[in-house]
Homo-oligomer: A and B are copies of this chain.
Amino acid sequence: MSFQITAQDSNSSARCGVLKLNRINLTTPLFMPVCTNATPKALDFVKLKEIGFEMVVCNAYHLFLRPGSSFIRENFNGLHEFSKWNNAILTDSGGFQVWSLGSSVKIHDNGVLIKSHIDGSLNDITPELSIQTQEELNSDIMMIFDDCPNPDSEYSLLLKSINRTKEWARRCKDAKKTKNLLFGIVQGGIYDDLRELSATHMTEIGFDGYAIGGLGLGEGQSKTYEITRNLDKLLPKNKPRYSMGIGKPEDILESVEHGIDIFDCVVPTRNARNGTLFSFNGKLNIKNTKYRDSSEPIDPNCECSICKNYSLSYISHLFRCGEISSIQMMTEHNLFFYNKLIDSIRFSIDNGNFREFKKNFLERYLNES
C-alpha cells in the first residue's frame, strides 16, 4: 500500500491524498456510508456506486454473528462477492459494539466475552479472532480490536483501557496473515495526555493508518474538535487518518482542517429515516407542514435523481403515508449530499481555497431557514 498526499492546504492540515489498494485507488478526504450488515440502509450498493462512493464500512462483529464470517469466506471468498460491492470495504473490528451493546459483555485481558444480541449465545472475542474474522471477510482495511470504554469513565480506568488497547493492537498486528491493511485506533477518552499516550502506543507499533476512536459519544463538539486538533500534531502525516463515526457536515469540515482523511457516520442514512434532509442551504425536516404544498425539490441546486424528479410535496406525501419509497428517496438524497460535500472539500483543497469553502459552506448551511 502507499498513501500519497496530492495536495496540502497552506493554511491548515487539510490535505488530499490517494490511498492505493489492490482493488481501487481511494481519493481522500473520503466518506464511507455505514453498511453494518453488508448493505446500506434502505438502499442498495448499485446506487452507492452510482453516487460515487469508493469505500463503505461494514461491521465484523455483526457479520461474525450473522451470517458468519467463515460462511462468507467459504462460499464467497469474502464480503465483496457476497454483497456484490466491488469498491473498497473497511471493517470495524467490533470494539465499538462492546461499548454500544455494553450490558452484555465482560471484558478481560485476553478479550471480551460478549452475549449475542441475536440469539444470546456467548462468544469470546479476542484480538486474534477479530483479525481472523476480518480476514475471512477479506475487507480491504481492517481495524484493530480496541477497548472502547465509556467516554465519561474515570482517568484510572481509561489509562488501564489504553494499555489494554495497546496490547490488543500488538496482538492484532501479529495475528494478521494477509496483505490487507490494518489501522490502529487511538483511545483515551477526554484526557489529552491519555490520547497522546495512546497515539504513541499506536505509532510505536506501526500501522497502515491511524483512527481516532471513541469520539462523538457525548463528549461534546468542542472536545471532539480539541482531541482531533491535538492528535493532528501527534499522528504521522504520511499515513491516512480516520475519525470513526464522525460526523455531521460541520464536524467533517473541522476534522479535515485538522488533517483527517477518512470518515463514516450513520447521520445521512439515519436522519433520512427520520425525515431529516440535508442541503447546502441547511437541513430541513420533511414533517414540516410547509413542505406539504411545495412543488420545489429538496434542493433546487442538487443534481441527485431525487431532486431532479420529485417535489417536496410528493416526498412529504409518501412519508406521511408511511411508504418505504420515501425512505429510499431521502436516503439517496442525503448520501448524494454527503458525497457532494466531500467532493467539494477535496476540490477546494486541490484549488487552494479550503478555508474559504469551509467558511462559505458553514454560513449557508448553518443559517437554516
Would B323 and A292 count as touching, CB distance under 8 A? no
Residues of B within 8 A of A288 (CB): none
Residues of B within 8 A of A309 (CB): 46, 84
A188 to chain B, nearest CB (A): 33
Report the separation of the CA atoms of residues A84 and B311 in the bound assembly, to the nearest whole angstrom.
10
Pick from B66, B82, B305: contact of A320, CB below 8 A. B66
Residues of B within 8 A of A66 (CB): 317, 320-321
CB within 8 Å of B: which A46-105 residues:
46, 66-67, 71, 75-76, 82-84
Binds B, one of A1-9, A14-22, A218-226, A325-333: A325-333
Report the separation of the CA atoms of residues A56 and B23 in the bound assembly, to the nearest whole angstrom.
42
Pick from B41, B311, B318: contact of A39, CB below 8 A. B318
Would B320 and A40 count as touching, CB distance under 8 A? no
A78 to chain B, nearest CB (A): 13
Pick from B84, B314, B323: contact of A310, CB below 8 A. B84
| A150 proximal to B (CB < 8 A) | no
Residue among A37, A311, A317 with max Cβ neighbours from chain B (10 Å): A317
Pick from B38, B43, B318: contact of A317, CB below 8 A. B38
Chain A, interface size category, equals: 35 or more
Report the separation of the CA atoms of residues A311 and B81 in the bound assembly, to the nearest whole angstrom.
10
Residues of B within 8 A of A39 (CB): 318, 321, 323, 325-326
| A181 proximal to B (CB < 8 A) | no
Copies in the complex: 2
Q: A75-B313, A320-B66 are in contact. Are A328 and B37 (CB under 8 A)?
A: no
Pick from B38, B295, B323: contact of A37, CB below 8 A. B323
CB within 8 Å of B: which A300-347 residues:
305, 309-311, 313-314, 316-318, 320-321, 323-329
| A152 proximal to B (CB < 8 A) | no
| A363 proximal to B (CB < 8 A) | no
Residues of B within 8 A of A317 (CB): 37-38, 66-67
Report the separation of the CA atoms of residues A313 and B67 in the bound assembly, to the nearest whole angstrom.
8
| A293 proximal to B (CB < 8 A) | yes
CB within 8 Å of B: which A125-170 residues:
none
Can you name the residue of chain B whose Cβ is closest to the Cβ of A295? B75
| A208 proximal to B (CB < 8 A) | no
Report the separation of the CA atoms of residues A328 and B328 in the bound assembly, to the nearest whole angstrom.
9
Would B325 and A44 count as touching, CB distance under 8 A? yes
Can you name the residue of chain B whose Cβ is closest to the Cβ of A318? B39
Report the separation of the CA atoms of residues A71 and B46 in the bound assembly, to the nearest whole angstrom.
35
Apart from A37-B318, A43-B325, A66-B317, list 4 A-B contacts with CB within 8 A.
A42-B324, A44-B328, A84-B314, A324-B328
Listed by A's residue number, 29 A-B pairs whose Cβ atoms lie within 8 Å are A37-B321, A38-B314, A38-B317, A38-B318, A39-B318, A39-B321, A39-B326, A41-B323, A41-B324, A41-B325, A42-B324, A42-B325, A44-B325, A44-B328, A44-B329, A46-B305, A66-B320, A66-B321, A67-B313, A67-B316, A67-B320, A71-B293, A75-B293, A75-B295, A75-B313, A76-B295, A82-B311, A84-B309, A84-B310
Q: Give the B-binding residues of A (Cβ under 8 A).
A: 37-44, 46, 66-67, 71, 75-76, 82-84, 292-293, 295, 305, 309-311, 313-314, 316-318, 320-321, 323-329
